[in-house]
């Protein structure tokens, strides 16, 4: 059995299925004691069941590893605190927090309901904060810790029909960059993964939606269906690397991970600039912006003729 | 008086003060009819007052412009709908929506309360959605429209003590990229501004917080300065007005940084370097190759510090 995470204690949210499950299994294989958190809800966030987390715990224990289940929702502060307390109560400490828990409620923005917005923001964005905040209290005191959040190409590059999910996932990237700066001085690192994998969440995006995007020739995150045939377990090795002592100075970064590919994403930067010593007039901007800033910028969703 | 927004109808949230106010004033000067939305709350989101929106409307009217006030909170769906309805009821249509409304509740993440998190996410992130959603219903039907949201370098780069604000502001950038793809096909333009300006919001960040960041070697969100930077709120308005006008036709899905006399296009995140292997990686394999490949040049934005003596 490999041992890159020997004696470590890890929390993995949404670990009952998909990417979270793959991370929990591999962390246990690498020697970590794992809190397998999963509410056991449906893909749209409804319902709950203890089964999903319990099955992963059983699988880890059967393989000779150490794990305990937690069935709290990440959406409340109490849930986040309880998940962290489960690690302390069961294993006496906490070293690693991984937060892939998520749901999907796709809809075009003009049809999106308040519930569809609120639910997705609650699970992804607040659900990352509730666990990370309580872990950060411990990490600061012990002057060590690893935080690995989950962002998405949908937010980083943009994807039609996912205003809620894109806001949440891009928000997690911003959150992670701030947390890296809040906690880095205490020897803690915080990084984020944008994964591509075929999971039950991706399966909820209807094929018709993919076809529509293609027909409209919208530019999108990937050229083809990015997640088809990609094993969610392939995300785990790089997550384990970030959680290990090897990555002690990797902080505040976003990585795209799919199949056997690991890609570092650029930090934001200015690509084209105009400058004036003073306030611009509209006449000046009319003249200079098209030539220097917006020239050749592709419209990711160009106007279509209206159907008769 | 200019002509660049003649006959356009615009909504500006948080239009009572700071960046929003200066956008309202320039829009009206350029011929737009403006719904000045402002709850009139304090920097931390508490309280409300009619005065800020009313004063801006008074200023616009005194200069010969056309404007109406709205005092709804952007944090509810009803508020967002009512702000959009105010434009229709007052001026018969809607062409432009600008959403700088915001608050600040800074705190290190390990001390941040649920209320500090929720309040900031509600005003910035949900407050952008509630107005944008109802505007997009109209924009889709009329097959035109312009939405300009407000992101921030705090989210794009990360700024210590602003986990809530950074999440909300980078969230708005992602929201903007998604909505640009939802709405572009209907002839709508959706873009975001990352402004650098001194307003009463930034005045709430204590000087000590800035000093601590500097002393601890923590990278701040401030983008590298081209020259000694002006930070006037009024400097943001000209580019927002250009973006809101027909001159920006076809510009959709981008984030622009505006500060003083600088206007920049921000890149969207893009792949820098990739590792690939035939088959599944082991942790040791990644560890052996990462530092000399993906990890080269990576800078820890807040390197570990020795604990101070006598403190925990």
pLDDT of res. A224: 44
If one counts every other C-beta atom within 10 angstroms of the C-beta of residue B284, the result is 14
pLDDT of amino acid B229 = 65
> Residue B268 — very low, low, confident or very high, per pLDDT cuts 50/70/90?
confident
Token code pair at residue A223: 């050229």
DSSP letter at B253? S
The runs of H, that is alpha helices, within A186-248 are 207-215, 236-243
In chain A, which residues have their Cβ closer than 8 Å to the Cβ of B236?
none
Of chain A, the percentage scoring pLDDT greater than 90 comes to: 80
Number of A/B CB contacts below 8 angstroms equals 396
Establish if A30 touches chain B: CB-CB under 8 angstroms.
yes
Tens-digit pLDDT profile for residues B271-307: 999 999 999 999 999 999 999 999 999 999 999 998 8
CB of B257 less than 8 A from some CB of A = yes
B16 pLDDT higher than 90: yes
Instruction: Catalogue the E-assigned strands of A14-57.
Output: 33-37
Q: ipTM of the predicted structure?
A: 0.92
Which H helix or E strand runs over A270? strand A270-275
Q: Is B165 a catalytic residue?
A: yes
Q: At what angle do helices A127-142 and A163-183 cross, to 10 degrees?
A: 10
Q: Do A158 and B216 touch (CB under 8 A)?
A: no
Q: How far lies A141's CA from each of A34, A187, B189, in Å?
A: 21, 10, 47
Distance CA A22, CA A17 (A): 8
Our CA-based measurement puts residue B41 at a distance from the nearest CA of chain A, in whole angstroms, of: 23
Best CA proximity match to B192, nearest among A174, A277, A220, A215: A174
* Pairing assessment for the beta strands B9-13 and B96-99 based on DSSP bridges: parallel
- For residue B143 the two structure tokens come to 């097959």
Residues in chain A with CB shorter than 8 Å from the CB of B300 are 184, 189, 249-252
Indicate the average pLDDT of chain B.
Answer: 91
Considering only CB atoms, B239 lies closest to which of A170, A280, A301, namely A280
CB B196 within 8 A of CB B243: no
| Residues from chain A contacting residue B173 (CB–CB below 8 Å) | 170, 174
């Amino acid at each position: 059995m490999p041992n890159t995470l020997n004696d470590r204690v890890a929390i993995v949210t949404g670990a009952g299925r998909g990417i979270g499950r793959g991370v929990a299994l591999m962390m246990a294989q690498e020697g970590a004691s794992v809190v397998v958190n999963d509410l056991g809800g449906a893909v749209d966030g409804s319902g709950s069941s203890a089964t999903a987390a319990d099955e992963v715990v059983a699988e880890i224990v059967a393989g000779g590893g150490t794990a305990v289940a937690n069935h709290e929702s990440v959406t409340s502060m109490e849930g986040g605190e309880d998940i962290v307390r489960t690690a302390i109560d069961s294993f006496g400490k906490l070293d690693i927090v991984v937060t892939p828990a998520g749901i999907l409620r796709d809809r075009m923005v003009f049809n999106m309901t308040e519930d569809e917005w609120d639910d997705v923001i609650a699970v992804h964005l607040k659900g990352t904060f509730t666990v990370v905040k309580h872990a950060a209290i411990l990490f600061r005191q012990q002057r060590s810790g690893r935080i690995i959040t989950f962002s998405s190409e949908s937010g980083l590059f943009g994807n039609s029909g996912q205003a809620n999910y894109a806001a949440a996932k891009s928000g997690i990237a911003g959150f992670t960059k701030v947390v890296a700066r809040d906690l880095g001085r205490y020897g803690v690192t915080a990084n984020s993964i944008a994964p591509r994998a075929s999971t039950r969440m991706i399966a909820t995006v209807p094929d018709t939606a993919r076809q529509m995007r293609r027909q409209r020739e919208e530019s999108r995150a990937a050229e083809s269906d990015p997640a088809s045939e990609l094993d969610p377990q392939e995300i785990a090795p790089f997550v384990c690397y970030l959680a290990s002592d090897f990555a002690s100075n990797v902080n505040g970064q976003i990585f795209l991970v799919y199949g056997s590919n690991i890609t570092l994403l650029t930090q934001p930067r200015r690509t084209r600039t105009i400058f004036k010593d003073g306030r611009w007039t509209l006449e000046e901007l009319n003249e200079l912006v098209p030539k220097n800033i917006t020239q050749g910028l592709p419209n990711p969703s160009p106007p279509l003729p209206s159907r008769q | 008086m200019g002509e660049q927004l003649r006959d356009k109808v615009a909504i500006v949230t948080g239009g009572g003060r700071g960046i929003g106010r200066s956008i309202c004033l320039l829009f009206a000067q350029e011929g737009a009819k403006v719904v000045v939305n402002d709850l009139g709350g304090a920097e931390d989101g508490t309280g409300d007052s009619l005065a800020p929106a009313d004063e801006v409307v008074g200023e616009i009217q005194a200069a010969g412009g056309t404007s109406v006030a709205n005092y709804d909170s952007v944090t509810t769906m009803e508020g967002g709908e009512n702000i959009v309805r105010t434009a229709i009821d007052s001026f018969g249509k809607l062409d432009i929506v600008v959403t700088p409304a915001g608050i600040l509740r800074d705190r290190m993440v390990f001390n941040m309360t649920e209320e500090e998190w929720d309040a900031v996410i509600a005003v910035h992130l949900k407050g952008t959605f509630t107005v944008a959603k109802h505007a997009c219903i109209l924009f889709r039907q009329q097959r035109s429209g312009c939405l300009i949201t407000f992101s921030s370098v705090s989210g794009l780069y990360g700024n210590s003590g602003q986990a809530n604000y950074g999440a909300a502001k980078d969230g708005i950038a992602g929201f903007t990229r998604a909505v640009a793809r939802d709405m572009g096909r209907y002839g709508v333009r959706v873009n975001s501004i990352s402004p650098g300006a001194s307003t009463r919001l930034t005045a709430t960040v204590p000087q000590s917080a800035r000093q601590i960041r500097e002393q601890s070697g923590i990278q701040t969100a401030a983008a590298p300065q081209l020259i000694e930077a002006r930070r006037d709120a009024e400097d943001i308005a000209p580019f927002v007005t250009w973006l809101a006008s027909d001159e920006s036709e076809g510009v959709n899905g981008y984030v622009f940084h505006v500060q003083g006399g600088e206007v920049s296009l921000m890149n969207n995140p893009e792949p820098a370097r990739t590792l690939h292997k035939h088959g599944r990686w082991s942790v040791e394999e990644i560890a052996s190759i990462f530092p000399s490949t993906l990890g080269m040049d990576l800078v820890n934005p807040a390197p570990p510090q020795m604990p101070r003596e006598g403190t925990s």
